[in-house]
Structure 1
Amino acid sequence: MNIEDFDFDLPEELIAQTPLKDRTSSRLLVLDKESKEISHQHFRDIKKYLKPGDCLVLNNTKVLPARLYGVKEDTGAKIEVLLLHQDEKDTWEVLTKPAKKVKEGTKLIFGDGLLKATCTGYKNHGGRILQFSYDGIFYEVLDKLGEMPLPPYIKEQLPEKERYQTVYAKEEGSAAAPTAGLHFTNELLQEIKDMGVTISFITLHVGLGTFRPVSVDSVEEHEMHAEFYQMTKKTADTLNKVKEDGGRIISIGTTSTRTLETIARDHDGQFVESSGWTDIFIYPPYEFKAINGLITNFHLPKSTLIMLVSALVDRETILKAYNEAVKERYRFFSFGDAMLIL
C-alpha cells in the first residue's frame, strides 16, 4: 500500500492555531461504521451516541513543559533542548538544536543556573543523553523554565499551558498531548458517568514519533517510534467486564487505541495489568481486537494516524469523510474539531 493512498487536499487556513475557549463547543463529525452515513454535531452532543454499559477509555498522560532554552557554559551559544524520555532519575534522552554544537562532555545552563546539564552520550536517531543537576524538585524547576512543546504546524503562542492538557492529565511524561481528550470538561465527564457509562484510564506517554512523517513510499516499510504504556489491574478488570456484558469500548484518541490494541493483541483479546513499550502500527487491513469505537481529531495527510483511522472503517470512507470536513470548514489537528466513529 502506498502512502499516496492516504493523501487529501487540506487548505492551510483550516489548521487550528488556537484552542476554543469552551472545550466542548468544538464540532463533531459522526461517522456510522455500518451505514457509512455522516452527520454534523458539536462535541457536547457526544452523549446522544453513548448508552449505559459503554466504556470510554482515556489516556491520562500529562504533557511536560519539555522545551528548554539554554546556553553552552563555555561559549554562551544558544541551545534549544526538547525532553523526550526519562532514562533514570536525572538522565533524559533529548533532542538538541543545533545538535552539532552539543557533543559528549558539553555543559549547558538554563535559567541563569537554576538548571544545569551535561551531555553524557548519543542516541542513534541523532538525540543526546543529558544528565541534569538542580536544587529542589525537577518537575517544579521544569515548570518554571520549560515551554509546552507544541506541534510544528502550530505557529501561535499558547498563553495558558493547561489548555494543552486534558482536564484529567495525571501521569507526567508526554512530549505531546493526547489531543482527542482536549474536548472533555469535568462537567461533561460527570454527565456521561451519570448516564451509566464507565470512564477508565490508561497511560501512554506520547513521543515525538507522533509527528514523524512517513518517509517511505510503501506503508508496510514504515517503522513506528516506541512509546511507553501502562494499564492498571482496575482498568483491565473493568474492560474485561464491559466486553463480557456486551458493552462497547470506545477509545478516546489514537494513543488509547494503540495501547488497548497492543494489550489485546498480546493476550488473546483480553486485558491484563501490564506496562511496556509499544511500536504497534495499525493500518488497513487490520482486525481490531479491543475497541468498538473511536473519538479522534482530524489528522495530517499521509500520516500514520489517518492510516489507523482508515483501518477502523475503510480508506475510501475515511477520505470521503475528511473531504466532507474540509468542505464544511472543520478545524484540523491538535486544537481542531473531533470525529466519532461508532
Structure 2
Amino acid sequence: MINLLTDPIFCLHKTGNECPESPARLERLVEAVSESNILERIYEEPETSRFLTEARKIAHKFHDSGYAGSVSSICKGLKEGETAFLDNDTVVSRCSYDIAAYALGMSKRFAEQVLESRESYFLLLRPPGHHAKYNSSSGFCVFNNVALAAYTMLQKSKKVLILDIDVHHGDGTHEFVSSKFYDKTDLWVQNPKNYSFISINQEDIWPGVGDSWEDEPNVFVRNLAAGTDDKEYIDFLKQEVVPLINRLQPDAAVVSAGFDTSKYEKQGPDVNGVNFNLTGKSYRFVADMLKNIPTLYVLEGGYNPKSIETGVRAICESE
C-alpha cells in the first residue's frame, strides 16, 4: 500500500492570481482524493513550531546558506497579500520560506520513515522542488525536496534510485547528484555506485538538456518526442529503465512525481510546448515497476487538476 499524505500548511504558500503553481492545485486534489479511500490522512505536525525551526536549519545546511537566508529575508519583507519573484517563474509570499522549508523537512522525515517501515509514501506538498539548485530557485521551486530525500537515504548506506517522471527535466536534482558539483568528500561523490538518477522528459522544452545516457555512469537523462503516448512510454520503461533498476538493485527509491505528462495538461494553464499524451495506464506501470521497492513519491508539476488527480489515483490504486 502507498500511504498518501498531505498537510494544510502547504496551501499557505500564496503565489498570486497568475501563477499556475497555486494553492488551488492542492486544494482541488485533496478534495478529489478525500472522496475515495486513498488519502491515508491529512498530516498535521503536532509540534509545528519546533519542526519549522529544525526545517529552517535543514534548508540552510542542504542549500547554500546565503541563498536560504536571502529567501527568508525576501519573504519576511513582504506584507500580508504581497508577492515577489525569486526568478522569472518562482513567486513567493510572506509565509513561503517557512512552507518551503517545511516541505524540505517533511521530505527528509518521510525518507527516513520509508527506510524504517519499508513502506511507500506519497507526499502531496508544495512548492515543488526538482528545479531548485544548490544556490538558486527555478521553475516554481524553492528548495529541492527530492534531492534531500535521496541524500538522506544515501546517508544510511543504502542504494537509492532517483526517478523523475515530470515532463520537464529535473535540472536542480541533476545538479545535486552530479559529481562535477561537489568536492571529493561528499556522499554523492563517495558513493557513485550506490545511486542512479533517471530523468525522463519531453524533448525541446524548458529547461532543455540533451540525452546523457552514457556521459555520467549513474545519471540517465532521456528526452522523448512530443506526442509520446502510453505505449511508447511504457515500451521505453520496459526496454531502458527496468534494466537500469535491475542493475542497481536499489534498497529504496525517490520519485519526482510530476504529472504534466498527462494528456489533460495540454488543456491546463501552463502549456508552454508541453505535449505528452499519457493516461493513468503509464503512471500505474511506474508504480508497478517500483512495487517491490520502498518508495517516496513527492509531488512536482501538473497544473490541470485533472492531470494530478489522474496520476495520484493511478499510483495509489495500483496495488
TM-score normalized with structure 1 length: 0.30
Structure holding more helix per residue: 2
TM-score normalized with structure 2 length: 0.32
